[in-house]
Amino acid sequence: MAKHLALSVAAAVAVSWLAASSAAAAGFYEKFDVVGAGDHVRVVSDDGKTQQVALTLDRSSGSGFTSKDTYLFGEFSVQMKLVGGNSAGTVTSFYLSSGEGDGHDEIDIEFMGNLSGNPYVMNTNVWANGDGKKEHQFYLWFDPTADFHTYKIIWNPQNIIFQVDDVPVRTFKKYDDLAYPQSKPMRLHATLWDGSYWATRHGDVKIDWSGAPFVVSYRGYSANACVNNNPAGGWSSSSCPEGTSAWIHRELDGAELGTVAWAERNYMSYNYCADGWRFPQGFPAECYRK
């Protein structure tokens, strides 16, 4: 939740300023609202074929963008190039959320910065009806600051799948008797913010502001998703695009489950189902199921 609180509350002002500044960027602003200081979000290209956006973090503000549409299930993909050099304390995210209430749903991909030369940590998490603490964290097997890589969330009624460059690294299954995000429409968010108090080595390493501004780039965003089509508010029905069948029943096959096992065996740095200190009364129920 801190990813929301760390940003400036000047979103409405930022949107109007940026929309007026560049007619060529209309495509981006038709799809997204801006969060944080207006001059911290820069549309690098938006020519109808490719779209690239740079987010900036400095002492004054973080930045981000949020989809105007809300979704109930979908396949969400983006290419990202993360902050290079000493990025300790920074957090870059790509996630879905129904809001900030006590009973909210959320599906997270977050990247926690590092001291130069150390690997980035990718944190994945699922919140259902306000219940979170379901993190799997991985060291990436490549340098995510050297080039763009593709990160994807597939969310359907059966499971949630996290992918990196089309490699599945995690699946979170639905069980009928356990909480699962399935009824609350969610917006897509992308943010860059100061997570010094928790992100790098549990908050031991803070941001070195001498390296600011910090910049992360997003491009190639796509959402093949069911959109809330009730403009009056509330969830009444959804509009699912052509191609929904490619993901709406998607579950991992044996070979793909093998890549999940490979990622867990070689790159997993944290598994909530192995954290006895955090769950002294016993692990969450899904930890005991296959």
Q: What is the C-alpha separation between 22 and 99, in angstroms, rounded?
A: 30
pTM for the whole thing? 0.89
Phi/psi of residue 138, nearest 5 degrees: -135, 145
Q: Which two tokens stand for residue 149?
A: 């890589």
Phi/psi of residue 188, nearest 5 degrees: -90, 135
Confidence (pLDDT) at 79? 97
Averaged pLDDT for residues 42-70: 88
HSE, CB side, 13 Å, CA atoms: give it for residue 97. 24
Averaged pLDDT for residues 214-220: 95
Q: What is the C-alpha separation between 282 and 36, in angstroms, rounded?
A: 40
Overall fold of domain 30-288: Jelly Rolls (2.60.120)
Cβ(282)–Cβ(259) below 8 Å: no
- pLDDT tens sequence across 156-169: 999 999 999 999 99
Q: What is the C-alpha separation between 194 and 209, in angstroms, rounded?
A: 10
Q: How far apart are the first and last CA of the chain?
A: 29
| Domain boundaries along the sequence of the chain | 30-288
| Run of H or E including 255 | helix 254-267
Confidence (pLDDT) at 249? 95
Enumerate the active-site residues.
106, 110
